[in-house]
């Protein structure tokens, strides 16, 4: 008999305060392996705070959260998790090249005594190619546009070849071609059984890949269940009246914005 695998993330009654203000309010969320979970919600609803708390980057003021069955604060097996934060914080300092940043995604896999191996370099090359930055490894991060920064962050997570990805608005500021490339990359990862937690304002081209979605509203989970339906499709009886409002706005995806009606 094999023991049941713990979920990748398991938050129970998660509560977080930032500057004394309650930003997460009693969040219960289990993310089993292989799930592709979209975290939707208006700006300021707590999406980034939730994923940062799931990763143990923000301590909870109430409740608890585990990563692969280990309390987030004690979790150390970071090679299993790839995190794409919402923004790249370069903030002066030494100008890193694209390749250096992407290679940092391999650090959890490298031993202090073993410098980057051929396998490490190949993984970095694959990650750069996956986001359309093959041949750009020598560019300074300072030369990149916002969309290119975002692609570098995605490549860094890919380079670590983790089991689970947490991506905070990976498509914001990324052009349509890069979004299509990311959708292809995600499809491949999902086909390999990797787990994905994807924060998004609009899902756009990623929508068909989603197996479950939650919608946050003021730090609470307002919807948890089926992935969104395309605009115009009729809801089944008993559905919970959480649906996108059409028509799609020019800078939004086909889903428009989310609201509870």
Ligand X SMILES: Nc1ncnc2c1ncn2[C@@H]1O[C@H](COP(=O)(O)OP(=O)(O)O)[C@@H](O)[C@H]1O
Residue 261 has which token pair?
Answer: 């009606």
Residue 150 near Mg ion by CB under 5 A: no
Tell me the closest approach of the beta carbon of residue 47 to Mg ion, in angstroms: 5
Residues 258 and 40: beta-carbon distance below 8 Å: yes
Only one of the segments 17-25, 67-75, 133-141, 249-257 lies at the binding site for ligand X (rule: CB under 6 A); that segment is 17-25
Only one of the segments 16-24, 108-116, 180-188, 236-244 lies at the binding site for ligand X (rule: CB under 6 A); that segment is 16-24
Site track 71-90 with Mg ion (rule: CB under 5 A), x = hit: ---------------x----
Tell me the closest approach of the beta carbon of residue 257 to ligand X, in angstroms: 13
Residue 191 has which token pair?
Answer: 């086909």
Residue 171 near Mg ion by CB under 5 A: no
Query: Cβ closer to Mg ion: 45 or 178?
Result: 45
Among 10, 36, 48, 171, binds Mg ion (CB under 5 A): 48
Residue 65 near Mg ion by CB under 5 A: no
Query: Cβ closer to ligand X: 130 or 216?
Result: 216
Residue 171 near ligand X by CB under 6 A: no
Residue 85 near ligand X by CB under 6 A: no
Residue 170 near ligand X by CB under 6 A: no
Residue 43 near ligand X by CB under 6 A: yes
Among 19, 115, 191, 234, binds ligand X (CB under 6 A): 19
**Spatial distance between the Cα atoms of 152 and 78, rounded to a whole number of angstroms:** 19
Residues 227 and 176: beta-carbon distance below 8 Å: no
Among 7, 35, 36, 47, binds ligand X (CB under 6 A): 47
Residue 48 near ligand X by CB under 6 A: yes
Query: Cβ closer to ligand X: 98 or 215?
Result: 215
Binding site for Mg ion (CB under 5 A): 47-48, 86
């Amino acid at each position: 008999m094999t023991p049941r695998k713990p979920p990748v993330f398991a938050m129970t009654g998660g509560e977080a305060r930032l500057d004394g203000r309650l930003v997460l309010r009693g969040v219960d969320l289990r993310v089993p392996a292989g799930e592709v979970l979209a975290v939707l919600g208006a700006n300021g609803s707590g999406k980034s705070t939730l994923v940062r708390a799931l990763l143990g980057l923000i301590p909870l003021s109430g409740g608890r959260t585990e990563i692969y069955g280990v309390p987030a604060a004690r979790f150390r097996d970071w090679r299993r998790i790839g995190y794409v934060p919402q923004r790249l914080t370069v903030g002066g300092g030494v100008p890193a090249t694209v390749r250096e940043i992407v290679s940092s995604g391999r650090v959890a896999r490298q031993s202090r005594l073993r410098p980057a191996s051929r396998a490490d370099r190949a993984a970095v090359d694959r990650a750069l190619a996956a986001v359309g930055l093959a041949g750009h490894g020598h560019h300074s991060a300072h030369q990149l546009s916002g969309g290119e920064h975002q692609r570098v962050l995605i490549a860094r997570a890919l380079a670590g070849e983790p089991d689970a990805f947490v991506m905070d608005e990976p498509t914001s500021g990324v052009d349509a071609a890069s979004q299509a490339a990311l959708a292809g990359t995600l499809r491949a990862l999902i086909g390999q059984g990797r787990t994905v937690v994807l924060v998004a304002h609009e899902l756009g081209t990623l929508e068909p890949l989603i197996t479950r979605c939650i919608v946050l509203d003021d730090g609470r989970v307002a919807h948890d269940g089926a992935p969104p339906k395309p605009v115009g499709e009729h809801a089944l009886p008993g559905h919970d009246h959480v649906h996108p409002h059409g028509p799609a706005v020019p800078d939004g995806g086909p889903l428009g914005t989310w609201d509870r009606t």
